[in-house]
Amino acid sequence: MNNAATESLTLEEVCIRLAGQALLQVNTRIAPGEVLTVMGPSGSGKSTLLAFVAGFLDSAFDAQGQVRLGEQNLLTLPAEQRGIGLLFQDPLLFPHLSVTGNLRFGLPKRTHNKQQQIAQALEQVGLAGFENRDPATLSGGQQARVALMRLLLSQPRAVLLDEPFSKLDTALRQEMRALVFGQLREAGLPTLLVTHDEADAAAAGGPIIALG
């Protein structure tokens, strides 16, 4: 779609504390196109780590360390300027907007050929001709595909995935893993995946760290 990204996402000596107790420690570098999987029991701090990187960590936590994209320190930037794309278990499409409206929302304001980019994005995920559909009329898998393309059209510099396949049925889950990881690799995006599912980690094909 666009030129592949070339930046690494670096989490250097990250230590997050809650009520005076260390919750998690991470020291890692995610290469362009690589997916780092974070696993761990409920309450071990997986979502907290994503919130820290994305820029919306609750003030109940005390965080130390550095987060860098390429050479840029992300921690001094507000969430909306970090260039981080997020995918959750729910596609979170805007129900009052058509598929096109949702994808337009992802596109940077000054994009030329918006309609053409949207049509190409839909074609890439087997949804050619779905431009005017209402999200409520799409299947779960179709909604997940639109959410993925909205993310990619927003030209993020890194991606965070929080249990992105957990609400899909088994067959669809396998298909979406291949699609999501394939697209992220092709786009060269460093990606942090939080999951409980070892098959997700295997499909991601990258290193795994365990919290807790």
Ligand X SMILES: Nc1ncnc2c1ncn2[C@@H]1O[C@H](COP(=O)(O)OP(=O)(O)OP(=O)(O)O)[C@@H](O)[C@H]1O
Q: Give the interface with ligand X as residue ranges (CB under 6 A).
A: 18, 23, 40, 42-48, 58, 60
Candidates 44, 130, 120, 54; CA nearest to 87 is: 54
Report in angstroms how near the CB of residue 86 gets to ligand X at its nearest: 14
Report in angstroms how near the CB of residue 75 gets to ligand X at its nearest: 18
Long-range contacts, stretch 201-205, CB < 8 angstroms, 24+ apart: 201/37, 201/39, 203/174, 203/177, 203/178, 204/35, 204/37, 204/177, 205/35, 205/181
Report in angstroms how near the CB of residue 21 gets to ligand X at its nearest: 10
Q: 57 or 138, CB closer to ligand X?
A: 57
Q: d(Cα 169, Cα 130) in Å, to the nearest integer?
A: 22
The upper half-sphere exposure of residue 72, i.e. CA atoms within 13 Å in the direction of its Cβ, equals 12
| Helix (H) or strand (E) run with residue 121 in it | helix 114-124
Q: 44 or 155, CB closer to ligand X?
A: 44
Q: 52 or 130, CB closer to ligand X?
A: 52
User: Tell me, what DSSP letter sits at residue 188?
Assistant: T
Q: 60 or 136, CB closer to ligand X?
A: 60
By the 8 A CB rule, do 37 and 195 touch? yes
Q: For the chain, percent helix, then strand, then coil, each to nearest 5?
A: 35, 25, 40
Q: 46 or 145, CB closer to ligand X?
A: 46
Report in angstroms how near the CB of residue 55 gets to ligand X at its nearest: 15
Report in angstroms how near the CB of residue 110 gets to ligand X at its nearest: 36
